[in-house]
């Protein structure tokens, strides 16, 4: 089978590629070709017997998506997108990449007429405060960012194009991915990962919000599991509501820190410095806390069941099993 991945150079894209390379198959079918697309050259693994082709460019450019789709992939993972902060700072860029790029891809598939499985990464950013205590699957999306708006429009297109039979789409709303590997960044959500990742490597981390803040997390490994599962499931039982809120672990920041102490000891916790930041707290206050995620669980999507497990996944996948604090 042939697989196309957009956004292949991103964190989730790279982990998905590594997983597909390891498995060698998807849904019981041997992977014969991997097409990897991104705006920057994606890293392509060397795999015996698999034709791997990197593609670089702007999805919204004329003809770009038609070229990718001409290869008739059986499964398309559409991960490409400008992130939340960037889409907010640069209105034109966000709409160009997240809306025009997605629509161009969907339209190229429609015009090619071969109806592949399309897995689209949406986000819990489609939801905006105020929220009930637990957000049900039937709660209305009212995004408070341009990023969330663009993801919502992608979801609406995905559902309509699927209903029309142009492709067989599954949209997955990812919770916050934690523990995010790499260096600390300026994303407002960065501290959720920072307060775990940095102490585990012996570095100090800043906590800018109160410990009472509750949020839903899943590991990068779970994000890849969601993608693989979405590529494989039978579309019929999903019905016309193609966009699914993924499961995750809902915990307070205080509970995150208690889990860190259980897994890595008091020494790690001492590396967390509380430094309240009203701006970050102001942003985080508008974010969803807990999700019901009933439908996705019924359809077999699974995440970690405790924050301890999320920390252990990070230690296994990123630190070679070793805590350095």
Residues in binding contact with its own copies, number by CB under 8 A? 22
- Nearer CB in complex with its own copies: 139/281: 139
- Determine if 83 is a binding residue for its own copies (CB under 8 A): no
Element (H, E) at 258: helix 253-264
Q: Are strands 168-174 and 134-135 parallel, antiparallel or unpaired?
A: unpaired
String of b and e for 130-148 (b: at least 16 CB within 10 Å)?
Answer: ebeeebeeebebebebbbb
Smallest separation, CB 96 to its own copies (Å): 12
149 by Cβ neighbours in 10 Å (0-12 / 13-18 / 19+) ranks as buried
Instruction: Closer to its own copies by CB, 58 or 107: give it.
Output: 107
Task: Show contacts with its own copies in window 215-254 (CB under 8 A).
Answer: 240-241
Q: Which is nearer to its own copies, 151 or 217 (CB)?
A: 151
Task: Tell me the CA distances in angstroms from 108 to 82, 126, 176, one per residue in order.
Answer: 20, 25, 30
57: number of Cβ within 10 Å: 15
Strand, helix or coil at 76?
A: strand
Q: Which residues in 108-137 contact its own copies (CB under 8 A)?
A: 128, 137
Minimum separation from the CB atom of position 168 to its own copies (A)? 17
DSSP-based three-state secondary structure for 223: helix
Tell whether residue 140 is a contact of its own copies (CB under 8 A).
Answer: yes
User: What string marks each residue from 6 to 45 as x (binds its own copies by CB under 8 A) or -?
Assistant: ----------------------------------------
Q: How far apart are CA 24 and CA 55, in angstroms?
A: 21
Q: What is the per-residue binding string for its own copies in 153-172, x denoting contact by CB under 8 A?
A: x--xx-xx--xx--------
Catalytic hit among 95, 106, 147, 287:
147
Q: Does residue 146 interact with its own copies by CB under 8 A?
A: yes
- Report the 10 Å Cβ neighbour count for 254: 13
| 147 belongs to the catalytic site | yes
At its nearest, how many Å lie between its own copies and the CB of residue 226?
20
Residue closest to 31 by CA, chosen among 232, 192, 194, 165: 232
Minimum CB separation of residue 184 from its own copies in Å reads 29
**Catalytic site positions:** 147
| Residues forming the site for its own copies (CB under 8 A) | 91, 128, 137-144, 146, 149, 152-153, 156-157, 159-160, 163-164, 240-241
């Amino acid at each position: 089978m042939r697989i196309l991945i957009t956004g292949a150079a991103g964190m989730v894209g790279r982990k998905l590629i590594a997983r597909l390379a390891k498995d060698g198959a998807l849904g019981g079918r041997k992977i014969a070709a991997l097409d990897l697309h991104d705006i920057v050259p994606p890293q392509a693994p060397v795999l015996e017997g698999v034709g791997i082709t990197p593609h670089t460019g702007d999805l919204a450019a004329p003809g770009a998506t038609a070229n990718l789709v001409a290869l008739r992939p059986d499964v398309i993972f559409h991960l490409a997108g400008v992130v939340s902060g960037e889409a907010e700072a640069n209105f034109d860029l966000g709409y160009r990449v997240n809306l025009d790029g997605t629509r161009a891809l969907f339209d190229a598939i429609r015009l090619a007429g071969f109806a592949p499985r399309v897995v689209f990464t949406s986000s819990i950013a489609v939801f905006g405060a105020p929220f009930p205590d637990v957000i049900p699957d039937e709660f209305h999306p009212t995004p408070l960012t341009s990023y969330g708006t663009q993801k919502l429009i992608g979801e609406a297109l995905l559902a309509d194009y699927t209903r029309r039979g142009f492709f067989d789409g599954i949209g997955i709303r990812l919770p916050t991915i934690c523990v995010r590997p790499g260096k600390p960044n300026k994303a407002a959500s960065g501290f959720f990962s920072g307060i775990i990742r940095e102490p585990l490597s012996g570095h100090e981390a800043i906590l800018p919000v109160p410990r009472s803040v509750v949020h839903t997390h899943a590991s990068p490994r779970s994000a890849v599991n969601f993608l693989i599962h979405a590529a494989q499931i039978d579309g019929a039982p999903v019905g016309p509501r193609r966009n699914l809120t993924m499961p995750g672990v809902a915990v307070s920041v205080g509970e995150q820190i208690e889990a860190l102490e259980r897994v890595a000891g008091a020494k790690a916790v001492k590396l967390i410095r509380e430094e309240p930041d009203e701006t970050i707290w102001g942003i985080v206050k508008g974010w969803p806390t807990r999700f019901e995620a009933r439908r996705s669980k019924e359809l077999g999507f699974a995440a970690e069941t405790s924050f301890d497990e999320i920390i252990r996944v990070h230690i296994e996948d990123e630190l070679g099993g070793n805590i350095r604090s």
